Amino acid sequence: MSTRHLDPAVRHDMVFLFDVTDGNPNGDPDAGNRPRVDDETSHGLVTDVALKRKVRDTIGMAAQAAGLDLGRYQIFVEAGHALNTRLEESYTANGLELDTRNRILSAADAGRARRWLTDRYVDIRLFGAVLSTGQTRSLGQIRGPLQFGMARSIDPVVPVDHAITRVTQTTQADIDRGERTEMGGKWTIPYALYRVGMHYSGARGAQTGVTSDDLRLFYTTLLNMFDHDRSATRGIMAARGLYIFSHSDGFGNAPAHTLVGRVTAEHTGLGVPRSFSDYKITLDDAGMPAGVGLERLAG
């Protein structure tokens, strides 16, 4: 296996395939948690934010399993932790004063604080972050080297609303009134195969300090994160393919769309798809542009 896909100094364009069976991969809070759907085509959607959340929730476990320094694999956007508090720590750790009375840090001091954050938080290193909140206005924004698109199902989906009952009541007053069960509901998609493109910039990776270990850990996390995100709501989700087109330098050797378009999925069965075996995945690796290497980590 080539190791070019682990080089943080070059550009990488990726295709990730995953599927869901009898679950809701990404509910829409503005629609009663109904699975997200393109209203015009009925294709299922999963936001980039939802996928990044799964990476954030899993990459620390992957780092621990790999025996890496956990001090470099903390998560900035984490439930139960205020962002401003973590940003202010970058000042106190470097002996800097907070931006009170519109005090602005020098470029050198702001750079030290930003490096402290990127060295500590892997999600800032990979995805970037807005750092100019509260009393840390001098830090500005870090544009992350790794960007996700929206995942879209290969075929249209038909979300199903299931009525469910619960044998216990919420309050004692409900019991006193003689209520025996409570009604609820849950949304699922019977089956869908999703495809998403991801793009890594070597130039921005150099700015945030991405390493080969970071990229290896990211790929490992993608392939295993659904196994650590199980819930009755999400059904059965699984990684089905990961294809990485690696360039020879940071600028790149070919437009991204000409590379990710080489991975296609086609429904080959009759009727409505209900499993991954209903699809044929095709990888066109003939006549690759000069300087572009391909690594298939799954699929």
Give, to the nearest 10 degrees, the angle between helix 107-120 and helix 83-92: 120
Which pLDDT tens digit goes with each residue over 99-149? 877 778 888 999 999 999 999 999 999 999 999 888 888 899 999 999 999
Query: What is the predicted pLDDT for the residue at 129?
Result: 96
DSSP 3-state of 142: strand
* Residues 6 or more apart in contact with residue 274 via CB below 8 angstroms: 190, 191
Query: What is the predicted pLDDT for the residue at 172?
Result: 84
Average pLDDT over residues 17-36: 95
For residue 85, how many other CB atoms are within 10 A of its CB? 9
Percent of the chain with pLDDT over 70: 100
Q: What is the mean pLDDT of the chain?
A: 93
* Residues 6 or more apart in contact with residue 192 via CB below 8 angstroms: 19, 20, 25, 44, 153, 154, 155, 157, 273
Give the residue among 242, 241, 244 at the shortest CA–CA distance from 280: 241
pTM, two decimal places: 0.92
Residue 1 pLDDT class (50, 70, 90 cuts): low
Residue 228 has pLDDT above 90, yes or no: yes
* Domain residue extents for the chain: 4-174+184-298
Q: Distances in Å between the alpha carbon of 229 and those of 124, 194, 235, 238? A: 22, 17, 10, 10
Residue 250 has pLDDT above 90, yes or no: yes
Query: What is the predicted pLDDT for the residue at 182?
Result: 73
